[in-house]
Structure 1
Amino acid sequence: MSTDTLEARLERLESIEEIRQLAGKYSLSLDMRDLDAHVNLFAPDVRVGKDRVGRAHFKAWQTDTLRDQFTGTSHHLGQHIIEFADRDHATGVVYSKNEHECGGEWVIMQMLYWDDYERIDGRWYFRRRLPCYWYATDLNKPPIGDMKMRWPGREPYRGTFHELFPSWREFWAERPDKDRLPEVAAPAPLEQFLATMRRGTPAPRIRVR
């Protein structure tokens, strides 16, 4: 998105605020189980699974998931980074710390969302939300070690919290020479911070809860 003029800069700020409101509305509508409000935050032709399209399919999927797995939820948002591809398309990363009542267990979770946003007829919507989980575990059971996704009644499995960004594996694979100063790459171009961190890697495959 060009910001060469005052009008363009104001439009960018308004878009950033609307997108941030979108993320807040997502959490509130989900936690309060207002699924009409929830699915209307997504593009009308939102894709649901491999072969279903539309808000009605999304509402049906969300209804089944929420009724089957959770008595109640609370989603707490953290930092939100937003970058624009053009006037009507943007990407973002949102941290989220969540709590879930799952029968007799209270499951806490740390995750982030990788978002694609699109402006349609003057309003911003989610085009896609990719949830990347670090851990999920009962409140009284710290998620130390591997397989940090630990839902009641399921075998533990790995999340995808770090898979969006190659830097995690690179950091642990390197054995720096402490006698030499490390090289520092050039700063990422404007609106390319997230893309630079991703380094062209594909989105991870997300395991359904």
Structure 2
Amino acid sequence: MTDASLLARIDRLESLDAIRQLPAKYSLALDMRDGDAWVNLFPEDVRVGGGKSGRKALRDWFDETHSMQFDGTSHHIGGHIIDFDDPDHAQGVVYSKNEHECGAEWVLMQMMYFDQYERIDGRWYFRRRLPLYWYASDINKSPVGDRKMRWPGVPPYHGSFHDLFPSWKTYWARNGQPHDGPVEPAAPLEKFIETMRRGAPLPKPRVRS
């Protein structure tokens, strides 16, 4: 093994560790309502929406959103898959199960994030987080049925949890019949998420953290 290849492998391991910490830092900063710590997980030129950009605009959104909608939150991070596009760019999927105190209701949520990461000046950031929701419902109400996103005072809606991966619809379209095609080859290294997406477009976000 050459010195260059060894250094590249060490760099990859250090990058994996740094990226894996991002969702945990995101959750802690969000739950503790530390807007400065939260926005500094994103680059200085982060896009906020509505033509706005920058950490100050993102912090304004953070303060307004979480003071109006939630009395308290707790985010529990699950499995985290990371694929590298190149040494300074990566993408990931991370599960999150969240609890929200919303006035008289205690809303449980199951979701995942599709993330894009970027290393800038030696530090890894979220370039983008796309939330994909399965359900949100008061702890005393089952979320079974359609439109599982059920927030107090908001009409139920679809949360796009399965929309990034076409296999969900393909599986149910077979109506329980076995797959009659050959087993596809394993995903190439660093292409697991891309292979599962099969070219599916990104769903339009509807943000509830």
Q: Same fold (TM over 0.5)?
A: yes
2:24 alignment counterpart:
24
2:141 alignment counterpart:
141
| Paired letter, 2:73 | T
The answer to whether the 8 Å contact 2:131/2:207 transfers is: no
Deviation of 1:63 after TM superposition, in Å, equals: 0.7
2:203 alignment counterpart:
204
Deviation of 1:16 after TM superposition, in Å, equals: 0.4
Using the alignment, how far apart are the partners of 2:195 and 2:136 within structure 1? Answer: 29
Deviation of 1:175 after TM superposition, in Å, equals: 4.3
| Paired letter, 2:205 | I
Residue aligned with 1:43, SS: coil
Using the alignment, how far apart are the partners of 1:177 and 1:169 within structure 2? Answer: 14
Listed one character per residue, the Cα deviations across residues 41-77 of structure 1 (whole Å, up to 9, x for unaligned) are 0011000014111000000011110000000000000
Q: What is the TM-score normalised by the length of structure 2?
A: 0.95
The answer to whether the 8 Å contact 2:100/2:108 transfers is: yes
Using the alignment, how far apart are the partners of 2:161 and 2:177 within structure 1? Answer: 28
The answer to whether the 8 Å contact 2:30/2:38 transfers is: yes
Report % sequence identity: 63
Residue aligned with 1:66, SS: helix
Deviation of 1:142 after TM superposition, in Å, equals: 1.1
The answer to whether the 8 Å contact 2:31/2:74 transfers is: yes
1:156-175 paired onto structure 2 within 5 Å: 156-175=156-175
Deviation of 1:176 after TM superposition, in Å, equals: 6.2
2:98 alignment counterpart:
98
Q: What is the TM-score normalised by the length of structure 1?
A: 0.95
Using the alignment, how far apart are the partners of 2:176 and 2:21 within structure 1? Answer: 42
1:185 alignment counterpart:
184
Residue correspondences, number: 205
Using the alignment, how far apart are the partners of 2:43 and 2:166 within structure 1? Answer: 30
Q: Over the residues paired in the alignment, what is the CA RMSD in angstroms? A: 1.4
1:108 alignment counterpart:
108
1:77 alignment counterpart:
77
1:33-72 paired onto structure 2 within 5 Å: 33-72=33-72
Using the alignment, how far apart are the partners of 1:101 and 1:27 within structure 2? Answer: 15
